[in-house]
Structure 1
């Protein structure tokens, strides 16, 4: 959603966040939103819901992939751009995705498949680097601190007892 917001701002497209109880919804609340964070324009414009549903509003378009019936729900890893909400928004705007947006879209739609190299145009090493850097920024850490935490967690998993299931 962060990149979608950035695209809207760069294109000077008016947008608002879905809200519930007066605050911007989180992912657990996104499909039970009861309002929006800003006034909607009176002039007839295209209302697009991106990964949300707002009680009482009917969208002209939906950009989503989380639930059955969403345009991107059943898309395969090779179709990650059509599957991801970011890719759907870019398509709606007639914009070609940047290299980084391809990585973001693959990470959002089918992370495991992207790490396996199943998303055309997305290098797994670049994906890992982007995820490390984006997580570091999100949590106020350096890239090196994130990498160290990953190494520690990896070693702990390697030492962990194996449990057979089934």
Structure 2
């Protein structure tokens, strides 16, 4: 079963449209993966989201960075395929369908850096988490982490351009 991890971090606190964007995305995601599969990593400044989105399972992002939020979420969701979504990116129905329909692949959207959506397979999660632990205190792009996973463990991923 696939789980969805929405990663929110300190830079998004000033985003005035964050709540309305999350409402739209959650309505879309609930139709495809169900309400029991939605998780969000938030900072302590985002506690107001508890009441607004009771269907989400919230995890704490203590450091407030994107990479740490992904790391915390992946550790919690070990044992599942995980669709990782950057909270600043807007997710469309087409993007969701494109990623969920792909089986047995690690997928990322990228151009020169990570573009906010990744499908990570259960079988590879421990290797990805182990690599992230080495860089947890650095502000590094998630695409660079996945390149290191490929170099160290030979785990391949497919890069999709913006869909």
Task: Give the structure-2-normalised TM-score.
Answer: 0.29
Task: Give the structure-1-normalised TM-score.
Answer: 0.29
Q: Tell me which of the two structures has the higher relative contact order, counting C-alpha pairs closer than 8 angstroms and 6 or more residues apart.
A: 2
